[in-house]
A and B are shown apart, each in its own frame.
Chain A
């Protein structure tokens, strides 16, 4: 399989299109015949990363890279960043507004979900700057 790279822009507060990037990535992986359990992990992690850009950031992008051994998702945004990454990673921690909580967001499960679905996971962020998340899932031998 040749290396593949796709870039998707994700707008802040765009709840109508929110989820489209994850859905496109899922379809791409499906067309490539990737194993369904791997597609599921990537779909969940990408959805959570996408929704966080929509809800918490000023906008950003999600990059899908497929190499012979790994699927890599990079989610980056233009800010405002996360002051305490360790705290943000705790299940149940959320700064979501009442408006988005009414929509069912804000359980504080997004970042923990991403981590659970990844073989390697990394969040880099600081206040005033953007958030940069790398999610990697390994392909099984023979794929």
Chain B
């Protein structure tokens, strides 16, 4: 499934990185420890995290994650969004919890 289709279906708010929304979303990874994500995240994963500083964009770009989703209306810093634009990493905001987002993605066939 494409990132943009998943985002639309779930009613996620795209904060930045529209050029990244054409990526293929193939999995989900939930973690707020960056080197843990570095060790276990896979290419194509949607990364759900409450971390919002600009380094998350570096992590997502290096691992070729499909997008970042912040849960529960967490606010994302302006310089993070700027970097997301520059690197073409889609950053979405959701009103529901990390578990809720994962459940939605599962229902859409991301297993």
- Report the nearest B residue to A94, measured CB to CB: B35
The dominant DSSP class at the A interface is helix
- Report the nearest A residue to B58, measured CB to CB: A19
- We find that the number of chain B residues with CB closer than 8 angstroms to chain A is 22
Across the interface, which residues of B come within 8 angstroms of A23, CB to CB?
Answer: 58, 61-62, 87
Binds B, one of A70-78, A103-111, A130-138: A103-111
Are B58 and A18 in contact (CB-based, < 8 A)? yes
- Report the nearest B residue to A21, measured CB to CB: B58
Are A47 and B39 in contact (CB-based, < 8 A)? no
B interface with A by C-beta (< 8 Å): 32-36, 38-39, 43, 49, 51, 53-59, 61-63, 79, 87
A interface with B by C-beta (< 8 Å): 15-16, 18-20, 22-23, 26, 40, 43-44, 47-48, 51, 103-110, 112-113, 116
Q: What are 29 A-B pairs with beta-carbon distances under 8 A?
A: A15-B53, A15-B54, A19-B55, A19-B57, A19-B58, A20-B58, A22-B62, A26-B61, A26-B62, A40-B63, A43-B62, A43-B63, A44-B39, A47-B58, A48-B38, A51-B35, A103-B51, A103-B53, A104-B56, A105-B33, A105-B34, A105-B35, A106-B33, A107-B33, A107-B36, A108-B35, A109-B39, A113-B35, A116-B39
